[in-house]
Structure formats: C-alpha cells, structure tokens
Amino acid sequence: MTMEKGSISVQSQNIFPIIKKFLYADHDIFLRELISNAIDASQKLKTLANKGVVKSELGDLTIEVVVDKNAKTLTIKDRGIGMSDEEVKKYLNQVAFSSAEEFVKKYKAENTIIGHFGLGFYSAFMVANKVEVITKSYRKNAKAVRWECDGEPEYMIEDTDRKNRGTDVILHINEESVEFLEKHRIENLLKKYCRFLPIPIKFGTKTETTYEGEGEEAKPIETEVDNIINNTNPAWKKSPSSLKDDDYKKFYEELYPFSQAPLFWIHLNIDFPFNLTGILYFPKLSQQFEVQKNKIQLYSNQVYVTDDVKDIVPEFLTLMHGVIDSPDIPLNVSRSYLQSDHNVKKITSYITKKVAEKLQSLFKKDREMYASKWEEIAPIVKYGMITDEKFYDKSKNFALLKNTTGDFFTIDEYREKIKVNQTDKHNKVVMIYASNGTDQKTFIDAAKTRGYDVLLLDQIIDNHFIQHLEYKGDNLLFVRVDSETADQLIQTDEVVDSVLSEKEQEKVKTLFESVLKKEGNSIQLKPLGKDDHPVMITRPEFMRRMQEMQRLQGMGNMDMPEMHQLVINSNHPLIAEKLLKMKSEEKKEDFVKYLYDLARLNQQMLKGSDLSAFITRSLEFVS
C-alpha cells in the first residue's frame, strides 16, 4: 500500500450544531463575545488613527446595546472599523478565522485587541435562530454590506444602505432563549462581563435628578441621560503613582458595594516575563472566619473572564478581594489550560511574592499599625504558612502571636520571651495557649500565677496553624491552658507538699471514685495552691485536637468519647478541711457532686437537665 497524505475535511453542516450547543458552557457568554468584537473594532480604529492610516475625526465610539422585545431582537452596535464585503466573506464565512489575530500581526496592537481565535462571533447562534450583520468599512467610498445566516451552512450577502462606518450585529432570539429579551437580564450581563471595558457601552437611558435653587426652595429637575454601563478607565489600569488612598478605597466600593473598607492593598503591575496588572485588597475578615471566596475577578484586556481563580492565585490568597488582568490568559480559558500553562505558574509565584513583600514592608514601616490589623489578616497569613512553603519562609518573620494581655510578638520573639520558664524536659519550648479568653479565664489566671505566659489563639484556623508550627521542627510544643499536660510538661524546681496525709488523700480519691463511677474518666490528686480551684477538669491535648479537626471537617465527633481528667486540689480548704470533716456520708456525696459540677460548669460541660439540677442544688445551699 502506498503512503498517502491529505487534509482532514471539516464540514460546516456538522460543526454548526456543535457550536450552537457546546461552544461555551454558559450560553450567556455570547454577549461578552459580541461586545468584545465591538470593542476590538473600535480599538482597531483608534490604532489606525494613531498610526496615521485614518485621518478623519473618530467621533463618538460608544457601543450601544438595544433590546426590541416585540421584534425579538438583540442588537449590538459599534462605530468601529467596519468591514467591506470582502472582509465579511473572509471573516464571517470562515469559522475560526480571526480578524483580530491578523490585525495584531499587521499592526502590532496585541495590548489592545481582545480576540484571537475567531470563534466568538459564532456564539450568537447559541441563542439566535438568525443573525444579521450590517456593516460599513472606514475606508473611503466603501459600500455598506448586509450579511445574514440562519445557523445553517448557507448565508446571504448583499449591498445595503448605511451612512456611517461601523457594524450592527442583530440577533433574532430563538424560543429557548427569550430570557435575553428582558432588559434587566441584559443589563446584569453587561455589568458582569463589560463593566470595565475601555470603550463606553450604552444600554438605554436613565433618569438623573438635579436641583435648581437652594435650600428648601430647591426644585428637582429630572433629565433622561444615556445609561453608560462601564468604567472605561478602572484603577488597576492607572499608574500607582497617580492614585491616592481614597482612589483605591473608591474602586473597592465600586467592586463590592456596601462592604467594609479594606485594610490595605497591593497594586500589581508587571510587563515581563508576562503581562499582569491588578489590585488585590486585604478585606476585613470576621473572627469566625466566615470566608467568601471567589471575590477575585480575572480579566483579559478588561474583559471579565471568571471569578474562579484558584488555579491562578494561590489558594490561601483566594481569601483576598480584587482584580487581576492579564492579556496572556485567553478569554476561552479552561481549568486544564490554567493548570498547565507556564505563564500562569509564573503569575502564581509573582502574586505570592508581592503579597509577602507588601506585608513585610508594612510590618517594618509601622509595626503598631500592622499589629492593630493583625487579627483580621491573620487567617490569610496563617493559611499561607500552612499551604505554601515559600510563603512560610518569608512570613515567619512577620507572622504575629498575641498573648492574653494583648501584646504581639513574632514567633522568634515569643520563643525568646518564654523559653526560660517554659521549656520541657525534651528541650522544647512549651507555648501555652487559650482558645477562648473568657471561658478559660480560670485556667489562664492559674497559669499566670505560676509565672507562665498564655497566648490567645482563638481563630478557627489556629488548630491547623499550631500543628504546622510544631511540624516544622523548631522545637515548639503547643498545649492548651486547660490541657492535662499544660502544667506537667514544663521543667520546674518548685515542689509543693500536700497538707493531707497519704491515707487522707486515698480517702478523698476513693470518695470521688465512688460518687463519680459513671463518668469513667481518670481522677488525680495534686497538691496545688490554695488559690487554685478545688476541682478542675483537664482534657488530653491530643484527643481534644482530634475532636476539633473532625468538627472543622464536618465529621462531628464520630462517637469519640469525651475524655477528661479530674484534678483534685488536695491543698484547697474545701477538700482538706470541709469535705474530710463532714460527718454525713450523704452530705459528702452531695458535696462531691457539687464540686464536680462546678468543674464541669467551668468547662462548659454542664448543660440541659444537669445544669438545671445544679442551679436547684445551689439555691438549696444558700437558702
């Protein structure tokens, strides 16, 4: 058999059904594509004018979108470069032949032209059963042309009347897509996809109210004006040196109306080895870490692409808000493209680097201001330290720890502060922390009495954060202030003797064991100070962390038992004197139950009927 070569034939009658149904996952994207074509036509005209090819006045280049519900049409009108009959045949009759691509190669205008692949126009057939194009080229003595196609391979082209240059694309909306004849639907799409395009886009009119006169006698005057959808010169396209703080805040309000003002921001501006502009804001995050992702918007030459940027922006920075614009990312972006493209990977690294540099700069420049905002930016920084090795290396120098007295330290600073008093027998620095400053106040006060310092780690991410710091192998160990290990781990020369004899201690332990036999948790007598509580409940650090991790992952407690240890202070007067001197066994049992319930109350473990019964017994004691 002889070798044979040839070209694969693609029949238009076979490709049109695919275009209609599957060109884009979201059919509403057609409006973005057609508006982008109109923008390109206008930008091409401006490029030709700048190069002296077009010498006449450009006039008003505003693009207009018109809905005619009665005629069932949606029209996009531009005053751009227009097309001749030859160009219509060349660009509209050849699927995937890009006029933008050709123009870029000829005039080197890649930074202003949006389209590249020539498929966007055909997205019209996803919602229209017929498309008309009426166009006239900018060239002198050009004839106007009308093109028509009903979604089949056949088309019609003829001369027509049109005085001015530009193009009207008229979509005859099909029955399945009548939603696109509703003005509010189109306006919402324009605001979503086109709100920052560089050419004004008009959609109908709106009423503006001004006042004539002053004070109470001022009379309102209503005027119909063009409804311009977009801001043609958004803040991220401007030079950072030309913007003031108020400009950045105003733009944030434009992006996220009714939101709290951002903490601070980063202006991205790079042209090598890739093109990227944008502004990323640090928002105010709630203490409960109620995160709203998908707040960063991705644009390509000011055309909205997506708000799902997890493959461009590192995951921890998806907590930030703002805009990224890169012409290196095409409009027909797909996840597989983002995951494999080398430019995207460079963008990801660049953004991480810029965020770290910004935070480091703020920390060095005004540490007091930085510390005042720390609790709101901490989730982003901690999340980054957990998930991004390079960010961890940079941020460990400006990540802060806050203690229960409200002082802030870097990790190294805090280690130095506590290492003398809080080092265990394995030479690990023990960082004692509280997850709730109010609920754990008793334990915090007890730790401070012993000369220990206590951190406040009360954000939802902190359980992961402290485990990551331990994992990094810097000889750190975190134990919660109410953990059974908190007081046992730290080396101390202090020895406190019990005021009770061994026989008396055994009596107390036996009494608690007999009364609380149903609880099934361990009981330990310790000679603590008189200012310590008579009975305390501590929980194993490891088991408690496991339970918290399960809750964070939505797994509940998976029937994991609520393990705790009952610590009885043998030196407390209520134990050493009152309990042991009681004559009635019944009163001893009631007193033991009461002390145990006090300890449970201190750990928020006393609830429902147990809490109600405790209150009743308390009233009996004082009556």
Q: DSSP class of residue 259?
A: P
Q: What pTM was computed for the model?
A: 0.75
The whole-number pLDDT of residue 113 equals 47
Q: Measuring CA to CA, how many Å separate 575 from each of 104, 229, 496, 507, 582? A: 88, 76, 16, 11, 10
* Dmax (CA) of the chain: 118
Amino acid at site 41: A
- The span from the CA of 114 to the CA of 14, in Å, is 28
The CATH classification number of 502-540+557-622 equals 1.20.120.790
> How big is the CA angle at 439 (ends 433 and 443), to the nearest 5 degrees?
50
Nearest alpha-carbon partner for 398 in 360, 438, 355, 343 = 360
Report the CATH fold assignment for 235-341.
Ribosomal Protein S5; domain 2 (3.30.230)
> How big is the CA angle at 442 (ends 438 and 446), to the nearest 5 degrees?
135
Does the N-terminal peptide bond of residue 273 adopt cis geometry, omega within 30 degrees of 0?
A: yes
- The span from the CA of 189 to the CA of 27, in Å, is 11
The whole-number pLDDT of residue 117 equals 40
Residue ranges, comma separated, of all CATH 3.30.565.10 domains in the chain are 13-204
The whole-number pLDDT of residue 543 equals 64
- The span from the CA of 296 to the CA of 313, in Å, is 9
Identify the three-state secondary structure at position 296: strand
Q: Helices (H) and strands (E) in the chain — how many of each?
A: 20, 21
Instruction: Identify any residues that bridge with 429 across adjacent strands, giving them in sequence order.
Output: 423, 476
Residue ranges, comma separated, of all CATH 1.20.120.790 domains in the chain are 502-540+557-622
Q: CB of 130 within 8 A of CB of 44?
A: no
Residue 18 CB coordination number (10 Å): 9
Element of type H or E holding 184: helix 183-194
* 622 Cβ contact partners less than 8 Å away, ≥ 6 residues apart: none
Tokens of 263: 């903490």
The whole-number pLDDT of residue 108 equals 56
Q: DSSP class of residue 577?
A: I
Q: CB of 316 within 8 A of CB of 384?
A: yes
The whole-number pLDDT of residue 455 equals 95
The whole-number pLDDT of residue 619 equals 74
Nearest alpha-carbon partner for 400 in 379, 422, 385, 378 = 378
The whole-number pLDDT of residue 112 equals 52
Regions of the chain with pLDDT less than 50: 1, 6-11, 96-100, 103, 113, 115-117, 288-289, 491-493, 557-560
Instruction: Identify any residues that bridge with 222 across adjacent strands, giving them in sequence order.
Output: 209
- The span from the CA of 252 to the CA of 399, in Å, is 26
Nearest alpha-carbon partner for 187 in 268, 306, 67 = 67
Q: Mention the CATH class of domain 13-204.
A: alpha beta
Residue ranges, comma separated, of all CATH 3.30.230.80 domains in the chain are 235-341
The whole-number pLDDT of residue 122 equals 83
